[in-house]
Amino acid sequence: MSGHSKWSTIKRQKGVTDIKRGQTFTKLANAITIAVKIGGSGDPDSNPRLRVAVDAAKSVNMPKENIKRATDRGLDKLPGQALEEMIYEGYGPGKVAFLIEAVTDNKMRTLQGVKNIFERNGGSLVGQGSVAYMFDRAGEIKVKSQDSNAKLTEDEMLELIDLGAIDVKDYIKDGIQMYLVYVESPELNTMGNKITQAGYEVESKELVFKPNTLISINDAEKAKKVLDFFQRIEDLDDVQKVYANFNIEEKLI
């Protein structure tokens, strides 16, 4: 798998405590609220984006009342400032392209926060569409292999592709063979169900921007700058998700 996918996978394995630090209940609640607003429904069964957001909240044990409050806010049943979804594009260290998703009730505050990090670290924000073409919208499903012996099984990869996957990346987690299965974004929930019915365990599923053009980084110092920059952007309160097109050698990670 690419260095970026490996980095993202390592971050997801750090446990509930770190997940809560980096992606707080507030961020998850905002994701639910925006999903309700954009999807026009508070029913996860009829709103695929909401289903993904609710599943993410449940995966870190977010209380039901928090989920309901976020849903009601999206339905304008609760007072408060309106939330907006923003996407920022830019180049970070090593000319790595970054695509940033944010949810905010104050666009100027969020823009200034993102801009400050870019400018202080030798990067630059760019106009809409300047780096977006380097990413494809896709569904990402984390799947556990049926083989507990951590062996790469070509038959499984072919089966996942036959089910409708457009790409499959493999990696090992705690001695277990895992796959990142990429699917067409509108098919995320349908494919998740198909994969489950085929006998696999689905750990998570989400909509992502998958890089289609990668920048190779082979220098340890540059790799550290890129990963530090990634973390600083991700830690901003209003930022939901950060995508980048770096490919760092696994030994450097």
Q: Convert the pLDDT of each residue in 75-111 to its tens digit.
A: 988 877 788 999 999 999 999 999 999 999 999 999 9
Helices and strands counted in the chain (H then E)? 9, 10
Bridge-based pairing of strands 246-248 and 215-217 is: parallel
Same fold flag, 13-74 and 86-134+212-248: no
Task: Report the alpha-carbon distance of residue 201 to residue 144 in Å, rounded.
Answer: 5
CATH number of 86-134+212-248: 3.30.70.980
Strands (E), 18-175: 84-91, 97-104, 124-126, 135-144, 167-173
Tens digits of residue pLDDT in 177-228: 788 999 999 899 899 999 999 988 888 888 899 999 999 998 889 999 999 9
115-119, 166-170, 172-176, 207-211: least confidently modelled range? 172-176
Contact indicator for 132, 89 with CB cutoff of 8 Å: yes
What CATH architecture does domain 140-211 belong to?
2-Layer Sandwich (3.30)
- Sorted by where each begins, the domain ranges of the chain are 13-74, 86-134+212-248, 140-211
Asked if the 13-74 domain carries CATH number 1.10.10.200, the reply is: yes
Q: Vertex 238, ends 131 and 47: CA angle to 5°? A: 80
